[in-house]
Amino acid sequence: MELINFPAILVAALSSFVVGFVWYNPKVFGTIWMNEIGMTEEKAKTGNMAKIFGLTFVFAFLLAFMMPTLVIHQIGALQLAGGNEKDEAFLAYMQVHGHMFRSFGHGALHGFFASLFVVVPVIATNCLFEQKSFKYAAVTSGYWIVVMTLMGAIICGWK
């Protein structure tokens, strides 16, 4: 019985790049973001892109790897069974509930709430102490809300 789908995790991690490509495009929020952090085109070009994108993928993969525990109810039942897929209580749970709530929409809902109640407070707190603007907080939080909503949808709905 496969509750964690590694291709879905990989695609979810890669989806953060697609969202970032659109979100941080100068015609969307890229110019606002650059202005709020004092980034220039020249400064951006001096960054080590292999390091930046490589580590970005590692971090996106780590987030996507954790998402099943947040968006798939059956993972919680398996955790209560000590991770034993042959546990009688887990098997009984799965017989009654099966893959109930395993949908793209349900995963998106949980991904959205996870971002709203975990990521946004972290970003907002950092912004307060770093004295970053509301615009910066909104652009950065908005990106993560979209990414985690999409990740949740992919991971929960892909069976």
Predicted confidence (pLDDT) per residue in 9-46, tens digit:
999 999 999 999 999 999 999 999 999 999 999 999 99
pLDDT of residue 1: 54
Q: What does the DSSP 8-state code read for residue 85? A: T
Predicted confidence (pLDDT) per residue in 80-134, tens digit:
999 999 999 999 999 999 888 999 999 999 999 999 999 999 999 999 999 999 9
Predicted confidence (pLDDT) per residue in 131-148, tens digit:
999 999 999 999 999 999
Q: How many CB atoms lie within 10 A of CB 83?
A: 10
pLDDT of residue 2: 74
Query: Which residues, other chains included, contact 61 with Cβ-Cβ below 8 Å and sequence gap of 6+?
Result: 9, 10, 13
The model's pTM is 0.92
First to last CA, the chain: 11
Q: Is the pLDDT of residue 48 over 80?
A: yes
